[in-house]
Homo-oligomer: A and B are copies of this chain.
Amino acid sequence: MADLINSDVFLAFSTYATIVILKMMFMAPLTAYFRLTRKAFQNWEDTAITKKDPEARKKMLQTNPDVERVRRCHQNDLENIIPFVVVGLLYALTGPDLSTALLHFRVFVGSRFIHTVSYVIGLPQPSRALSWVVGMITTFSMAYRVLTTVLLL
């Protein structure tokens, strides 16, 4: 694993990991946007943003389908992007070919952008399911290389 942290593969990993983490972080402002436009909050103190009347504020403590959809997409990102980052970091340190590594990183990041669009817009299945499966397989493929290269139990 020597000097691999200086390699092009590690630079590529850093680039794609940062991009996909930024995509994941973008779900938070999107949730805030839907909460504000749909007037659907979870905390009493948040309802004071638009109105002061206690009765009007109580009504804003509600769930909204659009907000919940974005939150589920965010949760799915946490469940898939973080494993990608962890496994991808270790994978980059096993010294794979740059072209193979780029293929993995590009397919994964692409699949997550398609997943987000499919989820937030609510495209007919299996668009969301397929993009999720493609991302999972990419991470499994990298995990397979890590385990067959570094195995020390």
Contact = CB atoms under 8 A, between A and B. Distances in A.
Given A72-B42, A79-B28, A86-B85, A6 B1 contact: yes
Given A78-B79, A143-B21, A5 B5 contact: yes
Interface string A4-21: 011010111011111101
A13 to B, nearest CB: 9
Contacts of A68: 42
B1 A5 contact: yes
Interface in A74-107: 74, 78-80, 82-83, 85-87, 90, 93
A3 to B, nearest CB: 8
A52 to B, nearest CB: 12
Given A15-B151, A21-B86, A45-B122, 6 more contacts: A12-B152, A15-B146, A22-B143, A25-B83, A45-B128, A48-B124
